[in-house]
Structure 1
Amino acid sequence: MDLLALADFVLVARHGGFGRAARATGRPKATLSRRVAELEASLTLRLFERGRRVLVLTEEGRALAERAGALLTELDETAAAIAAGGGRVRGRLRISAPLLFAQTALGRVAASFALKHPEVRLAVTTEDRAVDMVEEGYDLVIRVNPDPDESLVGRVFLRDRIVVAAAPAWRRPPEDAPVPAVVRTEQDPAVWALAGGGSLAVSPVLALSSLVMVRDAVRAGVGVARLPLSLVGPDLAAGRLVRWGDVAGGETALWALYPSRRLLNARVAAFLDHLGETFPTGAPEELASFIGE
């Protein structure tokens, strides 16, 4: 396969047309068109559907653009690293992270990474939705208990546990008596199953979408709540909250995910190493200690 033709195809795919790619790079439009046609002929595949005014990737073209674009980027980065002596990590790194981890820990994690790798332009976006890494241009996503995705690989770098927490003034009632509760949504169940057997009947009095808000409301004595151990660990240790038990099936895992490919982006690899150094055991207590510092 002609790598120059492949590079030109990726260029046209990224810019959405021969004219746009030519204007952005100063390359002749005719040359780009010829190279892509040669690539299609060598592969015996149509990579673009060509309309009068629109150029659209075929399914095969989209798959090739995604894979080839990632590999060509890796080749460019490898060549740059070799030219620079191979000792520096540089370039842009885009990360999507869930709200709670971003609010409580990621600011300091990102800052220490930036100090360690000053030539990396790190950009973090906070959101809980499942993003499309390729379409939205992310290099790494951090997610809690993500659904399986064959296009992504990753590793668990932190584990957590959901506990029932309350202000010290609250006394646990008999099992059948409901206790006021702060919940995430008004559709939360009226009975919480607890690890090791038993349950807790609750009567929601406040619904808050943010776990940080839920914790603050529990601190204020409004009611009990189900919260991550990492978030309430400092409060439990200081006596501001008490632990009534663990939620059944409340184990969670924080994953760092990236596109599945043989050559791992050097910046992603550096950030994964940094996460491992920051949280060497990955235990809930370790994250709680980090948050409480």
Structure 2
Amino acid sequence: MDLLALADFTLVARHGGIGRAARAADRPKATLSRRVAELERDLGVRLFERGTHVLRLTQEGRALFERTEGLLAELGDAATAIASGGLSPTGRLRVSAPLLFSQMALGKLAAEFTLRHPAIRLDITTEDRPVDMVEEGYDLVIRVNPDPDDTLIGRVLIRDRLVAVASPRLRRPSPGEVVPVVARASASESAWQLTTDAGDWQVQIDPILRLGSLIMIRDAVRTGVGAALLPLSLVANDLEAGVLARWGDAKTPPIEIWALYPSRRLLSARVTAFLDVLKAAFPLGHPEELARYMLADVPS
């Protein structure tokens, strides 16, 4: 396959037409048209549907564009870095991350990253919804317990778990006693299944307050209004300081925070640099590391 023809195809696909691509790159339209036609002939498929005034990618063209655009961009970045006399990562890095992890760690971590790599323009979007990395142009996403996806690979950053906590002022319930709790707005359970050093324990609960944020729930629980199930990383510092008491661990699946990136793309120097900063912050992946990171001093 002719790499130059592939680059010209990507240029045309990105700009949505041969004319617009020719103007953007200051290239002859005839050259771009010929190169795209040669690539179609070599592959034996049509990459564009050609109308009178419009040029649209076929299904095969869309698949080729999605797989090659990032690769060609990374090759260009590498060539630029080598030509400038070094391999320091440059360019824009787009990351999508969930709300709670962003609030707990990413403000300070993003600043540390920028101080280490000033040539990279880091852009972090906070959202809990699943995102399409290719369609939405993200280089890396951070997700909690992501569904299996053959198009993505990655690594676990933090392995967390839910724990039942309450203010020391709130008396631990006797067997069969109903406990006032602060719950998430979407929660529907009527009992907690907990495990302790003394064995398993079922706690009947009465959600007297429902809140939409785990940080809001933690702050409410501190007042003694009720107990709550919260990630250990969010309450470890309060448990150590005696602000909260731990009743037990919830018998629920672990909470895994993953960093994910497309499996069919070369791992860019920008993504590698960001992963290195994440790994340095949480080398063991323990929830207590995330808790300590929130309290750590900003480097001078």
- Quickly name the TM-score band, shorter chain normalised: over 0.9
Cα distance in 2 for residues equivalent to 1:56 and 1:242 = 61
> Who is 2:66 aligned against?
66
- Residue 138 of structure 1: aligned partner: 138
| TM alignment of 1:90-239, pairs within 5 A | 90-195=90-195, 197-239=200-242
SS of corresponding position for 2:249: strand
Question: Equivalents in 1 of 2:100, 2:43: separation in Å?
Answer: 47
Q: Please state how far the C-alpha of 1:262 moved relative to its aligned partner.
A: 5.6
By how many angstroms is 1:238 displaced? 1.3
Partner SS state of residue 42, structure 1:
helix
Q: Give distance in 2, aligned partners of 1:42 and 1:216.
A: 63
Please, which runs of 5 or more residues in structure 1 have no aligned partner?
none
Q: Distance in 1 between matches of 2:215 and 2:187?
A: 19
Residue 267 of structure 1 aligns with an amino acid whose one-letter code is R
CA distance in 1, matches of 2:180, 2:49: 60
Identify the residue that residue 248 of structure 2 maps to in structure 1.
245
The 8 Å contact of residues 9 and 36 in structure 2, kept in 1 or not, is answered as: yes
CA distance in structure 1 between the aligned counterparts of 2:23 and 2:184, rounded to whole angstroms: 50
RMSD between aligned alpha carbons?
1.5
| Percent pairwise identity | 63
Equivalent pair of 2:78/2:87 in contact (CA under 8 Å): no
Distance 1:52 1:214 in 2: 59
Q: Where does structure 1 differ by over 4 angstroms across 4 or more consecutive aligned residues?
A: none
Spell out the pairing of 1:268-279 with structure 2 (5 A cutoff). Answer: 268-279=271-282
Match of 1:39 in 2: 39
Give me the whole-angstrom Cα distance separating, in 1, the residues matched to 2:161 and 2:259. 18
Q: Distance in 2 between matches of 1:89 and 1:285?
A: 31
Amino acid at match of 1:282: G
Count of residues paired in the alignment: 293
Structure 1 position 20 matched with structure 2 position 23: no
| CA distance in structure 2 between the partners assigned to 1:39 and 1:220 by the alignment | 67
Give the C-alpha shift of residue 21 in structure 1: 1.9
How far the C-alpha of 1:186 sits from its partner, in A, is 4.5
Residue type of the alignment partner of 1:284: P
Deviation (angstroms), 1:223: 1.1
Tell me, yes or no, if structure 1 residue 50 matches structure 2 residue 53: no
Contact 1:186 1:204 in 2 (8 A): no
